[in-house]
Amino acid sequence: MEYAYLARIYDHLMEDVNYENWINYIEHFLGKKEGDMKNQILELACGTGNISIPMGRKGYEITAIDRSVDMLSQAQQKANDLDLNIQFYQQDMLNLQLQERYNTILCLCDGVNYILDLEDLRIFFLKVYSLLREGGVFIFDISTYYKLKEILGGNTYGEDLGNITYLWENYFSPEEEKVEMDLTFFQENKHGLYEKHKEFHIQKAYRHQELCSLLKKIGFSTVDMYHELSFNPPKEDSHRIFFVCRKQ
């Protein structure tokens, strides 16, 4: 199961991600006026709440979903510690059960790469479109084809974190256009022995142009794409591309 054991060290692995920059970047597209926090936000694949929680602290009304109970329980714990009222739900974003409509929908840090099939992705985008209010915006990012193939593919990472040591092996399949990630964790137990835990993740490598035309076909009035937290267009070797899709 994905994001089960990994939930324990996820925040550590993300320590060098500057979420504050991500939030400032997102806010740029929300057209937020000073004092106007009525923006209702749905965050999909929220993980341990690294976006939802600081945005909740700023006063936004947040609903956040993820399919991993372990990631959500970290998020809920952090929200409780800050006495924050964020609605966290365990749901699969391919089968969303939500009654509300939102001004903003977010799916950040690879959520979309976990949708492995183009038809599932089309249905997902349609659902997001239907959950957005008129004038709303859907913001997501992808790890690029280039990153999955050239940077992650064929590479192994690892770290000794003290009581947990992990190995993260990546294999890119050019036929399937997917990267398979094999994660192995060793954790010392109270007897000084090491328990071994395994997780297997798959991410799909999408080309940004194909996503752009899919989003336009679905009905988004504008689809803008940006290179890694900038306002510049994507490059051949961008590692991450942000999509800002508006519903008229």
Ligand X SMILES: C[S@@+](CC[C@H](N)C(=O)[O-])C[C@H]1O[C@@H](n2cnc3c(N)ncnc32)[C@H](O)[C@@H]1O
Minimum gap (Å) between residue 94 Cβ and ligand X: 5
Q: Which is nearer to ligand X, 94 or 191 (CB)?
A: 94
| Chain contacts with ligand X (rule: CB under 6 A) | 2-3, 14, 45-47, 50-51, 66-68, 71, 92-94, 108-111, 114
Q: Which is nearer to ligand X, 201 or 246 (CB)?
A: 201
Q: Among all residues, whose Cβ is closest to ligand X?
A: 47
Which amino acid makes up residue 124? F
Q: Is 102 exposed, middle or buried (0-12, 13-18, 19+ CB in 10 A)?
A: buried
Q: CB 175: neighbour CB atoms within 10 A?
A: 5
Q: How far apart are CA 202 and CA 223, in angstroms?
A: 26
Minimum gap (Å) between residue 108 Cβ and ligand X: 5
CA quadruple 62, 140, 25, 238: dihedral, nearest 10: 160
Minimum gap (Å) between residue 180 Cβ and ligand X: 15
Minimum gap (Å) between residue 66 Cβ and ligand X: 4
Q: In what order do the strands lie in the sheet with 164-173?
A: 156-160, 164-173, 178-188, 194-204
> For residue 199, what are the β-bridge partners?
183
- Reported residue count of the chain is 248
Q: Which is nearer to ligand X, 26 or 225 (CB)?
A: 26
Minimum gap (Å) between residue 107 Cβ and ligand X: 7
Q: Which is nearer to ligand X, 58 or 216 (CB)?
A: 58
Q: Which is nearer to ligand X, 20 or 34 (CB)?
A: 20
